[in-house]
Amino acid sequence: MLEPLLFEVLLLLVSLALALLLPWLGLDPAPAVLLAILPYLGRNLYYLGHLTLLIRRRYRMAPPFPHGLWGVIYRSVAQHQQSGRKRRKRQVRFIRRFREAAISVPDALVILDRHRRIEWANPMAAELMNVHWPRDEGSYLTEILHHDLLGEFLVADEYLRSLELAPEHNRAITLSVRITPFGERKRQRLVVSRDITKVFHLNLIRRDFVANASHELRTPLTVISGFLENLMDSPRTPEHHRRPLQLMSSQAERMRSIVEDLLTLSRLEMEDAATQSEPVDVPETLRLILDEARLLDAGGHELTVDIAPDLLLQGNRLELRSALSNLVFNAIQHTPSESRIWITWREDEDGPLFAVKDNGEGIAREHVPRLTERFYRVDKARSRTSGGTGLGLAIVKHVLNRHDARLTIESEPGQGSTFTCRFPASTGLERSEHHPRDLPVPMPSS
């Protein structure tokens, strides 16, 4: 840096020396100064103009560079241009690779602009969703892919769930459609569709198999239970046969519970969630569940209840009853005698919530995420002896899913557990709106 500066100073000094020398040779001082300074100014003007031209026309700066400070400026601009070129090349390469990757993914990808119009789609989108790019650029996705819920799904802000549909152009396939907001202020949408035909069919086969097997087992089990009961009641049964008969009867009863729970799960999977939605009197349902719980509780648990008396819920009465009672009975079954249990039904700013908290032994962290799996039990032997089927929380999860609700489980070994069901705010109802309190609640006909 010092050398170019010295070079510029030297040029200036030479010009000044010339300005002093020329009057001494007989020239007038004013033209002498002008004559001496002019080459110096001309040089600066030339390089300034040249630099502007090079930059404006985006010419590539290449050596040889001028001497002095201008050389430093030219060199810096050249370096800057070079790094910019490298960056652009890298970007182009990256975009090309990204497009190649997007083209070769086996899923359909569609990018929608902020008005939900098609901006780009990969080739798989043509096969799976009938979206051909660039032909369909600018069209609305809902014009090509028809589904009752798709429009609603696209404008929603929360995309936790996927949508399963059979596209019109090929009814033989089943797609799982997921939507992710992205881009500036998350106004664009990335639609990803996967072909889940095989999984869907396997699931159907599994579901039908479980439903049919459970259904077929129901009658023989009822017959076996009936005969076992007759044998136990008969005075002619030898005394030493009674204990084995009792064991057989309790195991048959356990099998019957498992079959009933499996049938409940099958029904939950098969039926349309929207059917039989009505205002459910949750306080009344909880009163019945708690009466039953107090009656069956042999362990002297202490129940503390905090129930909003006028808070009802839009949903399926039988399903909700099954979910709530599973959580209450679990707290009784899976905690030691005389444990405390808190049952809450109230509404906060996020919507209605039902919680069952206990101060039992709690559940180790590694088990918590798996509790809603079918037949998953923390302590298998103890759960079996306490009459558990291992399907209760799977039923709870299914029921909540069908009500757009969420189950959260918090548990600390040695401290106890809290099972919380959070329902969407829109499903909470005031009693006065639907069941005036002074009117008797209609009893179901038998």
| Residues contributing to the site for ligand ADP (CB under 6 A) | 326, 330-331, 333-335, 358, 360, 363, 371, 376-379, 383, 388-394, 417
Is 319 or 358 the residue whose CB approaches ligand ADP more closely?
A: 358
Is 125 or 391 the residue whose CB approaches ligand ADP more closely?
A: 391
User: How many Å is the maximal CA-CA distance in the chain?
Assistant: 153
The dihedral sign for the CA sequence 53, 59, 63, 68: positive
CA 108/CA 141 separation, integer angstroms: 13
Give min distance, CB of 333 to ligand ADP, in A.
6
Give min distance, CB of 137 to ligand ADP, in A.
50
Give min distance, CB of 280 to ligand ADP, in A.
21
Alpha carbon 166 to its chain centroid, in Å, reads 22
Helix or strand run (H / E) with residue 273: none
When computed from its CA atoms, the radius of gyration of the chain, rounded to whole angstroms, is: 39
Give min distance, CB of 174 to ligand ADP, in A.
29
Distances (CA, A) of 275 to 270, 284, 406, 411, 422: 11, 22, 20, 34, 21
Is 77 or 378 the residue whose CB approaches ligand ADP more closely?
A: 378
Give min distance, CB of 131 to ligand ADP, in A.
42
- β-pair type (175-182, 163-165): antiparallel
Owner of token pair 């709690």? 362
**Would you list the DSSP string of 139-195?**
SBHHHHS--TTHHHHHH-S---S-EEE--TT-TT--EEEEEEEESGGG-EEEEEEEE
The dihedral sign for the CA sequence 307, 308, 309, 315: negative
Is 104 or 385 the residue whose CB approaches ligand ADP more closely?
A: 385
Give min distance, CB of 369 to ligand ADP, in A.
12
Give min distance, CB of 207 to ligand ADP, in A.
19
Is 392 or 428 the residue whose CB approaches ligand ADP more closely?
A: 392
- β-pair type (340-348, 302-307): parallel
Is 176 or 326 the residue whose CB approaches ligand ADP more closely?
A: 326
Taking a C-beta distance cutoff of 8 angstroms, is the pair 245, 237 a contact?
A: yes
Give min distance, CB of 413 to ligand ADP, in A.
10
> 162 phi and psi, to 5 degrees?
-105, 160
Is 316 or 325 the residue whose CB approaches ligand ADP more closely?
A: 325
Taking a C-beta distance cutoff of 8 angstroms, is the pair 326, 395 a contact?
A: yes
Among residues 193, 194, 189, the alpha carbon closest in space to that of 120 is found at 189
Is 31 or 336 the residue whose CB approaches ligand ADP more closely?
A: 336
Give min distance, CB of 249 to ligand ADP, in A.
19
Is 139 or 337 the residue whose CB approaches ligand ADP more closely?
A: 337
Give min distance, CB of 259 to ligand ADP, in A.
14
Is 136 or 319 the residue whose CB approaches ligand ADP more closely?
A: 319
Taking a C-beta distance cutoff of 8 angstroms, is the pair 139, 118 a contact?
A: yes
CA 195/CA 176 separation, integer angstroms: 7
